[in-house]
Structure 1
């Protein structure tokens, strides 16, 4: 398998060339848009790195040089030259730490704080001009997209404890239809017949479900939906599990298991004696979840649906 190496880590799966090209194109365009390639930031004589150092010292107070270097991931020599220029201009003072004489502490002077205030005001105005031509709705979408980028690139180790199972909110059922259609098209090549089936199931649930005996759940991770499942009435003693879905970004967090467990718990409390579900042989990850939850394969039949040749499977589990 082809691998690539990332800074500070071992080999990782190769990244598609078009994905790399897209990120590089984004960087080229938006470093120009926000002006970071200009010699002086915002028309000042400060570079981007110098302005960022001023920001750190203005917002977080005196700092040890070694900490400043680590926080900003700057070369030691490069940072030293910047601080020397700042000191020569009277923007900072430097002193040894009272607790550890080996650590040098840098702090903005009044002149340094005034210089930062000017840069900060120019930055506020510049971003305001950038956002001004766009509607409030477009600005909101932009900020949400920025949060999405941060969430992906700055993601900490996934934490299953942060998965929440909740009732659907307005718009969530539409998300269920859209994500089912998009994911199964991308992963298995299924056509719009599957989207029509999901839309029919969801519409039927919304139009006529009995809240005491039928329920739906959304799995949420870090504020975004990442999975779903529905429990509907088959007959007086049998419940049917439908539309289990887990986003690829959330796989491995136990989302599918948590959703199935919630479905089983509700069906048991609602008085059903059996739960059934229908799936297809290609959905191996879902099948493993069902097996762990105690379901047993009771029927399998070949069929041609959603533009593909499949083997439909019925799985059954007795409830307590």
Structure 2
């Protein structure tokens, strides 16, 4: 096992211990309610399903059959649930909350909301956003959505420009070994961003930034496409092509006759997008980034000779 893998396992275990401790703190705030965290989960699922077959409930919560049976027996004795034979299959039972069970669930739900509200209230706003974003990221990685998420191409909002610099620095260092000087180059490009002459677009997937591209107005009826990036988690959705199409559509509307771009030949996925959009290689030369040899390339497209893509 590599040292990197061991370090990652250690981090996951440390987070697991910490998270369990935090959940314990939140749960301790509900000690005036006579339910454990697992019992609360059972109440929650039954409440939101209206009625549910016990086998389905066991699978949903990944609980041992005997453990779930003991919880339901306790709830039955306390008058919180009603158990009936399934109308579809008499061998099975379904459960639903009684009026008392509904009251118990609502009390538990209020207590949980209040405890989490107190946790968030003790944090500054930026820390709250980081916490929620981190939790969302963990959920997305370990349990990705089954269906397609909403995709949006939009202008930058407050905070997006720093995201562009940060993600370029992180991803290109991780994937190609380019270092701080590359991130500084991106930072200078972003610092020079000057709307309304220049323009930029952020691709959102599921409400979170997942890609970007910049348009810079140049002399002689020329525009430049810069900083195309798509997050690894969003690749394969066609975002790169949509961002490039948006940039070219804007260049036409801005009266540009030609769009140029600078890239490196190792960025093969981006190159395929550029070629599909009509760009052609003009020149290339050797360069070095963080001690790594790279092949710098200049590409261009003649807008008059290239029709717009689907009217975009």
Normalization by structure 1: what TM-score?
0.80
Counterpart secondary structure, 1:200: helix
Counterparts in 2 of 1:272 and 1:116: CA distance versus 1, 3 Å: closer
Larger deviation, residues 163-172 vs 83-92: 83-92
Long gaps (5+) in structure 1: 3-14
Could you tell me which residue of structure 2 aligns to residue 66 of structure 1? 55
Match of 1:302 among 280, 286, 309: 286
1:22 aligns with 2:6: no
Larger deviation, residues 54-63 vs 267-276: 54-63
Normalization by structure 2: what TM-score?
0.81
Counterpart secondary structure, 2:178: coil
2:281–2:298 CA contact under 8 A, matched in 1: yes
Could you tell me which residue of structure 2 aligns to residue 216 of structure 1? 200
Tell me the distance in 2 between the aligned counterparts of 1:139 and 1:269: 41
Match of 1:154 among 137, 143, 152: 143
Match of 2:133 among 140, 144, 159: 144
Could you tell me which residue of structure 2 aligns to residue 261 of structure 1? 245
1:232–1:242 CA contact under 8 A, matched in 2: yes
Q: CA deviation at 1:312?
A: 0.8
Task: Give matches, 1:108-119, under 5 Å.
Answer: 108-113=97-102, 115-116=104-105, 119=108
Could you tell me which residue of structure 2 aligns to residue 94 of structure 1? 83
Counterparts in 2 of 1:140 and 1:259: CA distance versus 1, 3 Å: closer
Tell me the distance in 1 between the aligned counterparts of 2:161 and 2:45: 44
Q: Deviations over 1:209-239 (max 9, x none)?
A: 553xx42211111111111112223332322
Could you tell me which residue of structure 2 aligns to residue 167 of structure 1? 155
Counterparts in 2 of 1:129 and 1:164: CA distance versus 1, 3 Å: closer
Tell me the distance in 1 between the aligned counterparts of 2:189 and 2:125: 35
Could you tell me which residue of structure 1 aligns to residue 310 of structure 2? none
Tell me the distance in 2 between the aligned counterparts of 1:43 and 1:24: 31
1:261–1:293 CA contact under 8 A, matched in 2: yes
Counterpart secondary structure, 1:101: coil
Q: CA deviation at 1:299?
A: 1.0
Q: Deviations over 1:184-213 (max 9, x none)?
A: 22222223222232222222222xx553xx
Tell me the distance in 1 between the aligned counterparts of 2:125 and 2:189: 35
Match of 2:295 among 304, 307, 311: 311
Tell me the distance in 2 between the aligned counterparts of 1:139 and 1:205: 29
Counterpart secondary structure, 1:256: helix
Q: Deviations over 1:115-148 (max 9, x none)?
A: 5455445545554554454345533432332223
Q: CA deviation at 1:301?
A: 0.7
Counterpart secondary structure, 2:200: strand
Q: CA deviation at 1:306?
A: 4.5
